[in-house]
Amino acid sequence: MELDLQIAIEDTPEYILAEKDLTPTISRRSQQSHFIHVRQGIEILRAMKSSYAAQRAFAIHPLLQDKEKLDFYRFRMENCSVHAVVLAMEFCALATAGKRPHNPLGKTWMPAVSNVHEVNDMLIADKIQNWVSYKKYHNLYPDLDKKQMIAYFNKWFDALGVTQPMVDIIADGANLGTELTRLEGV
């Protein structure tokens, strides 16, 4: 078992690596740094009182989502917590499952959740952050069917056991604002 000394999350190797690599990359829809997703996700995890390891794992998850970059990042993550890397990899396997061409979002599709509580916390944080971002920038998503997107998020929240009041409370606790969290429509 690794010893986590609970240094400030901003001082961890995971956060520093993610900040360095993701800050310069810009989302094509929101025109904001991809690192904002990491910061907001960590704030959601804090509001949920999720584990320190989950927060560290959330910091690096975007770096592990592109399988073609795994070889590159495996050397850059030598100082990262093994626990955080394992959690991030489990998260990536589940979080991107609905995006794969062989598993389109359909009436029968249901997202898979993890047997690891920390990974499910990360999925909740990711989906709440993505939902808030979608609501804020939905006018920039002309290529996405709004009913399909609402169904997508509702399926994730149902699978994770997250209710609308929970989304509101968590988003508010992370200072994301509840005015953007309603799931009924856009």
User: What DSSP letter does each residue of 32-56 carry, written as one string?
Assistant: SBTHHHHHHHHHHHHHTT--HHHHH
This prediction's pTM: 0.85
Q: Of the given ranges (7-21, 41-55, 118-132, 161-175), which has the lowest mean pLDDT?
A: 161-175
Mean pLDDT of the region 45-51: 92
Mean pLDDT (the chain) is 83
Distance of alpha carbon 20 from the chain centroid:
18
pLDDT, tens digit (0-9, with 9 covering 90-100), for 58-96: 999 999 988 788 788 878 889 999 999 999 999 999 988
Cα gap 179→181, rounded to integer Å: 6
Mean pLDDT of the region 25-54: 90
* pLDDT score at 84: 96
Name the residue type at position 10. Answer: E
Cα gap 49→6, rounded to integer Å: 14
35: number of Cβ within 10 Å: 20
Beta strands in the chain (DSSP E): none
* pLDDT score at 74: 78
Distances in whole angstroms, Cα of residue 73 to Cα of each of 41, 80, 90, 150, 152: 21, 11, 16, 33, 30
Name the residue type at position 121. Answer: D
Q: Where are the domains of the chain?
A: 9-180
pLDDT for 139 beyond 60: yes
Q: Of the given ranges (6-10, 110-114, 138-142, 152-156), which has the lowest mean pLDDT?
A: 138-142
pLDDT for 34 beyond 80: yes
Cα gap 100→104, rounded to integer Å: 7
